[in-house]
């Protein structure tokens, strides 16, 4: 049996990109494999949230995990900071991570460019914390979206380096996983290549959005003046709408609008109306469960407690073994 680990940072509500790129696969994997799904709250400290926001966002993600169908009996569902063993492994990995390789990481370089006033050590060492999350349970498969590919590559580097350094075959080399398919990158409504809350909230459809707010956002989505030649290549923003349609609508609906585009008779208003309707149908069952779960604090408490216990058991075993390997032996 494979061991699976993945997590999402609690920075607000989850969007369709998170769901289609990652969370949907968590749900599919929990039936067959040994799964650990967590809420990456240590990671979110790089943005310095207030205690109230942090706690509220952890709750949002926990509720949304459950609303999407994660089953705390099948998978281990936990909050990262409930498992401090994560921090110990992070410290150990940092000792063998080179500043140069961390500085070359694309997500770090993006942050240096976009938020030069808050480049903290946590951002630089984000990949070692992520590697610690994954190898803490000796995972082999990590369901994530395409943007996480490089972090997985770095995780393999750190795992291999540990094995080589201590001459052991202890950590497996985990891979990003999407059931043999290309990793997914869900585009944004703003013409961007990635629906992302951290880049632009307006590019996102959230799982907790009402049909009305979905309609408003989709109607405002970026397009162009429309095709003037038959079979024209679609500009990025229009291509995005078609990609989103492919993810939530039936194939014949996509074919219908594609044909209208190709003979230059498409009306973007109609395309958007259809997309908004199909997105609303897609998220409705999840939204309903979000509302049911959000007020059930007692259940959420039980889920988090059970997850913490199961995750710590696995983590403690790994930490015990690597302490031995490293030479932290008790007298
Ligand atoms: P955001 O970019 O909105 O801050 P995160 O970086 O917290 O989202 O993403 C959490 C998980 O969701 C990761 O596995 C990531 O790969 C996946 N994910 C986020 N946005 C997308 C997207 N647009 N397409 C595919 N997967 C995505
Ligand atoms: N870096 C991931 C993101 O931004 C979140 C994450 C943290 C993660 N630790 C992980 C994903 C471990 C998979 C495995 O989305």
Q: What is the distance in A from the centroid of ligand 2 to the CA of 8?
A: 5
Query: What is the rounded distance in angstroms from the CA atom of residue 251 to the CA atom of residue 247?
Result: 9
Cβ of 18 less than 6 Å from ligand 1: yes
- Atom index in ligand 1 nearest the CA of residue 184 equals 25
103 shares a domain with 40:
yes
Question: What does pLDDT average to over the chain?
Answer: 97
Is the residue at 196 inside a domain?
no
Provide the pairing of β-strand 76-79 with 34-39.
Answer: parallel
CATH of the domain at 103: 3.40.50.620
| Averaged pLDDT for residues 135-155 | 98
| Residue of minimum CA distance from atom 21 in ligand 1 | 17
pLDDT at 125 over 90: yes
> What pLDDT, on a 0 to 100 scale, did the predictor assign at position 198?
85
What CATH number corresponds to the domain at position 259? 1.10.240.10
pLDDT in tens, 187-215: 999 999 999 998 889 899 999 999 999 99
pLDDT above 90: residue 122: yes
Mutate to test the pocket of ligand 2, among 40, 57, 86, 136 (most ligand atoms within 8 A of CB): 40
**Residue 45 counted as domain residue:** yes
pLDDT, one tens digit per residue, over 161-175 is: 999 999 999 999 999
Query: What total of structural domains would you count in the chain?
Result: 2
Which pLDDT value is given to residue 199? 86
Q: Kindly tell me if the per-residue pLDDT of 140 is higher than 90.
A: yes
Say whether both 226 and 252 belong to one domain. Answer: yes
The answer to whether residues 32 and 86 belong to one domain is: yes
Are both 58 and 145 inside the same structural domain?
yes
Which two tokens mark 241? 């709408």
> Is 186 inside any structural domain?
no
Are 47 and 158 found together in one domain?
Answer: yes
On whether both 287 and 314 belong to a single domain, the answer is no
- Residue 133 resides in a domain: yes
Q: Is residue 188 part of a domain?
A: no
- Give me ligand 1 centre to Cα 145, in Å: 6
Q: Whose CA is nearest to atom 3 of ligand 2?
A: 8
Residue 194 in domain? no
Cα gap 81→36, rounded to integer Å: 14
Are both 170 and 311 inside the same structural domain? Answer: yes
Q: From the CB of 195, is ligand 1 less than 6 Å away?
A: yes
Average pLDDT over residues 254-265: 97
Q: Is 130 in the pocket of ligand 2 (CB under 6 A)?
A: yes
Residues 45 and 130 in one domain: yes
166 and 52 within one domain: yes
Task: Pick the residue whose CA is nearest to atom 11 on ligand 1.
Answer: 18
Is 124 near ligand 1, meaning CB less than 6 Å away?
Answer: no
Let me know if residue 190 belongs to a domain: no
DSSP 8-state code for residue 23: I
Where in the sequence is the domain holding 160, given as residue range(s)?
3-177+296-326
Residue 184, domain member (yes or no): no
- Same domain for 12 and 108, yes or no, is yes
Any idea what the Cα angle at residue 121 is, between residues 117 and 123, rounded to 5°?
A: 75
Is residue 185 within 8 Å of residue 146, measured between CB atoms? yes
């Amino acid at each position: 049996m494979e061991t699976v680990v993945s997590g999402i940072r609690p920075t607000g509500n989850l969007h369709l990109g998170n769901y289609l790129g990652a969370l949907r696969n968590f749900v599919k994997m929990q039936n067959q494999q040994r799964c650990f799904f967590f809420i990456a709250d240590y990671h979110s400290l790089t943005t310095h949230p207030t205690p109230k926001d942090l706690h509220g966002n952890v709750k949002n993600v926990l509720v949304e995990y459950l609303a999407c169908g994660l089953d705390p009996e099948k998978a281990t569902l936990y909050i990262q900071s409930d498992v401090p063993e994560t921090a110990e492994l992070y410290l150990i990995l940092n000792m063998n991570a080179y500043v140069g390789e961390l500085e070359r990481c694309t997500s770090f370089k993006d942050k240096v460019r976009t938020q030069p006033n808050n480049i903290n050590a946590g951002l630089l060492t984000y990949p070692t914390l992520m590697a610690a999350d994954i190898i803490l349970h000796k995972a082999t498969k990590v369901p994530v979206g395409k943007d996480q590919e490089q972090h997985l590559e770095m995780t393999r580097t750190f795992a291999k380096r540990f094995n080589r350094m201590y001459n052991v075959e202890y950590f497996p080399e985990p891979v990003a996983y999407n059931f043999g398919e290309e990793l997914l990158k869900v585009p944004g409504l703003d013409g961007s290549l990635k629906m992302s809350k951290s880049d632009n909230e307006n590019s996102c459809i959230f799982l907790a959005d009402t049909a009305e707010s979905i309609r408003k956002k989709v109607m405002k989505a970026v397009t162009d003046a429309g095709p003037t030649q038959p079979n024209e290549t679609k500009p990025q923003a229009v291509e995005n709408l078609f990609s989103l349609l492919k993810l939530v609508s039936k194939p014949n609906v996509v074919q219908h609008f594609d044909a209208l585009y190709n003979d230059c008779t498409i009306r973007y208003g109609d395309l958007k109306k259809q997309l908004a309707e199909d997105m609303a149908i897609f998220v409705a069952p999840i939204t309903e469960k979000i509302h049911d779960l959000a007020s059930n604090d007692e259940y959420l408490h039980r889920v988090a407690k059970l997850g913490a216990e199961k995750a710590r058991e696995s983590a403690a075993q790994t930490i015990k073994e690597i302490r031995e390997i490293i030479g932290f032996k008790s007298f």
